[in-house]
Amino acid sequence: MAILYTKVKKYLEANSKTWDAEKENIRLENNLDGKGDIIAFWNVDGLAKPSDEQLETYNSAATTEENNNTIRATRKAAYGNIGDQLDEIFKDIDAWKARIQSIKNANPKE
């Protein structure tokens, strides 16, 4: 299950808004009551605060985004430093291509 932040981000995007533009108008909190994160403050112009049911409709897309972000981070770490990659390309571009492809194959996006 996706975290609240990602579901809210997807809700905003579906309504032609972005988290970066609206982050000052939204506050997510965790009251440590065991119920998880909540929307503590919502003041997005022209867009009502989403219900839990509305947010749940974005769970699948949000989960995919979170999984792909994890995969991107894994790939980035495996690719290594860009300077080292450029040196590798200069020395043997075919070996570099094969190494990068094997990283992508081992870490496919959804």
- Kindly list the domain boundaries of the chain, sorted by start residue: 4-106
Residue 22: pLDDT over 90: yes
Cα gap 110→108, rounded to integer Å: 7
Structure confidence at residue 35 as a pLDDT band (50, 70, 90): confident
What average pLDDT does this structure show over 8-26?
97
Structure token pair of residue 40: 């503590």
Of 57, 58, 52, which Cα lies nearest the Cα of 19? 58
**The pLDDT value given to residue 31:** 86
Which pLDDT score, from 0 to 100, does residue 99 have? 96
In whole angstroms, give the CA distance from residue 60 to residue 83.
37
pLDDT on residue 90:
96
Check whether 59 has a pLDDT greater than 90: yes
* DSSP label at residue 33: S
pLDDT of residue 13: 97
